[in-house]
Chain A
């Protein structure tokens, strides 16, 4: 993915453990935003799960999960 090189450089720079912590936090915040968005506009849980799966797939495609 286009961001994979940046991810690798960042991981090498700050260490795998610290990097994974930060990435995990970012992912959970992102999912929380999706959840809050769905609750605010009455989107049901099935559609919410689809949105979260789409985000995960895109994260992989863009290289964030490298």
Chain B
């Protein structure tokens, strides 16, 4: 009830500036159409032996093929999961019984990676969390020093969800595989999929997590790339769907929605160019302002731009902006909570991380959105009291 009231307060007839696309994106028309069709017409169980089930299976396999192609994988190397988080859990828990007892990850991973690894740490695994430099990139020498024959898994994200820093995955895989060929390499690519060219063969990784709702698809559907020959253990057991690796009747409507989103992605390099223009325009605007600082590194993926409006708490600014129909994310988890561990790892002090905002773009954004945001920020700075004075 409260949520409905809350949404009613947003006037959708007015222009909305949505700059929280790393939280979720607006589902595209094609995605919604496919979901609708899968719910109203082609709603059979893909495991059913009759033709009605077979028809659903065919559609699902078409989706699998298209998604696989997007990352240069083979069709049957994609397993559908309930979310990006579940894909991360599946990949990491696969090593829970391995003889090698060491896991290497970075200190700026998504909680679905960090918390899952922590669970294994409590069960006796040795865990190494690689530090990162000011631009949010891991130290490959540190990785090389840590990897050994006893390393079961290395899990490093492709693009960081708070600041957008891109990790040198290809080089990291090379280092890992040259020191220990058996070690599994998992990559959380939820914030990267559909936003930069990804070629899993070229990267050399074994496992990779992706999610639909970050690329204009529905929530509740993710995928795990699992390289042929990698012996994955099922995380969810049951009727043996998804080659026995993820039981439970496949959510064909959401899978079809995922396919619609992927079909709609278009030329990634072209889109990246457009987003880069918006990002650079925003950086130029903010650099002129003495009070706004850029937290994202220069080489970050342009879809994410983390900034600090010094002296103004993230949460207050966020709520001010929502009244102006502008939607962003606070950089840190929340005002009363812990300082964001990602911004801390980048070496930012508390005033910077307390006032951090994460802007994240999609193909629907324009430079005008940045103008509207910047003038709203200036308005906020004039109206809201600084929390540090």
Are both chains from one complex?
no
Residues of A in contact with B (beta carbons under 8 Å apart):
none
Contacts from B to A (Cβ < 8 Å) = none
